Amino acid sequence: MNGGAARALLDVRDLKVGLPTRRGPLAILNGVDLHVKEGEVLGVVGESGAGKSITGLAVIGLLEPPARIDGGEVWFDGARIDGLSGDELRRIRGARIGVIFQDPLTSLNPLYTIGFQLTETIRTHMDLGADAAEKRAVELLDEVGIPAAASRLGAYPHEFSGGMRQRVVIALALCANPRLIIADEPTTALDVSIQAQIIGVLKRLCREHGTAVMLITHDMGVIAETADRVAVMYAGRVIEDGTVAEVVRNASHPYSHGLMGSIPTIGARIGRLPQIRGSMPRVGAVPAGCAFAPRCPEVRDLCRAERPVMMDGKATSAACWQYSPRWSDTAAAAGGAAADG
């Protein structure tokens, strides 16, 4: 796949996640394909509800029951990790895959000092004595830029500001030198002025340690600045995958195109940011063909009838019929999206 399959650190293939409900199962992820190579930063973007966070949780086996993996495969470092037992997955989490969640204010246990939480994590995954673990904890706090790290080990989470807490959370994710970090909206809950700092810390540390990152966010600005490659998600699938520059400047999928169009550019004088008409279909109400068809300006009959797979687009790959040889055979639908909008 994309020639990178052999080198992929994380490879997610056709991942399906469902939620059994009293009105039948609800499909939350409808076959997600994505991969993260060693040391690279993959940005995963999409509107809220597109399935970004669920993908992250499913990879590390932290889906909240009753949500569950209904199909597909997750490969990490050459081994299949979906369907591993809880204990085997636990040994991967924190040790080889670190995780950062959205809200630093609630990610830390309020009743324990951060020193305790750090050494606890370190000693769970590394064979270190109490003193060595504490030393490592201080180093980590130092690395994430917490001033006077040694003296802050005894402090409780509420004694830190939001930005500082997120640095602690990053330190916690890095405790055991993981190969991959899944960062789920790491800066969304923070003050704008702090966001850049935190992203900076994350980027620097991962480069230094050679850690790969799966950066989940809806903030294209963060992606553009940080990521090497981007996967765009829509209605529970990845619909475009390519390098940041190409996706931002020359998106293949009409949805990505619209999404990039809504990034404000400094200096460009436009009256109003363009927006994509309509809204993403609700979970469980995804149309049979291409999920984006009802909103797509280019829609044709084929789009409504069949779901497109990933194919080579302009410079990226995209799940869009435009890049299929069959595109020319199908007639443009009369009216197109305008009639649906």
Q: Judged by CB under 8 A, does residue 91 bind other proteins? A: yes
> Applying CB under 8 A, which of residues 53, 55, 107, 217 lies at the interface with other proteins?
107
Contact flags string 35-74 toward other proteins, x per CB under 8 A: -------------------------x-x------------
Least distance between other proteins and beta carbon 226 (Å): 21
Is 33 or 184 the residue whose CB approaches other proteins more closely? Answer: 184
8 A C-beta contact, residue 59 and residue 69: no
The nearest distance, CB 1 to other proteins, in angstroms, is: 27
CA dist 283 and 287 (Å) reads 10
Residues from 108 through 167 that contact other proteins (CB under 8 A): 108-112, 120-121, 124-125, 156, 158-159
Shortest distance, position 156 Cβ to other proteins, whole Å: 4
- Selected from 90, 209, 218, 277, the binder of other proteins by CB under 8 A is 90
Q: How far is the CB of 134 from other proteins (least distance, A)?
A: 17
Fill in the DSSP letter of residue 158: G
Residues with Cβ within 8 Å of residue 224, at least 6 apart in sequence:
244, 248, 263
What is the C-alpha to C-alpha distance for residues 210 and 224, in angstroms, rounded to an integer? 20
Q: 3-42 mask for other proteins (x: CB under 8 A)?
A: -------------------x--------------------
How far, rounded to the nearest angstrom, does the alpha carbon of residue 205 sit from its chain's CA centroid? 18
Cα distances (angstroms) measured from residue 170 to each of 90, 105, 151, 324: 18, 13, 18, 43
Q: Which residues of 47-67 are buried (b: 16+ CB within 10 A; e: fewer)?
A: eebbbbbbbbbbbbbebeeeb
According to DSSP, the β-strands at 68-76 and 41-45 are unpaired
Binding residues for other proteins, rule: CB under 8 A, are 22, 60, 62, 86-87, 90-95, 98-99, 101, 103, 106-112, 120-121, 124-125, 156, 158-159, 169, 172-173, 175-176
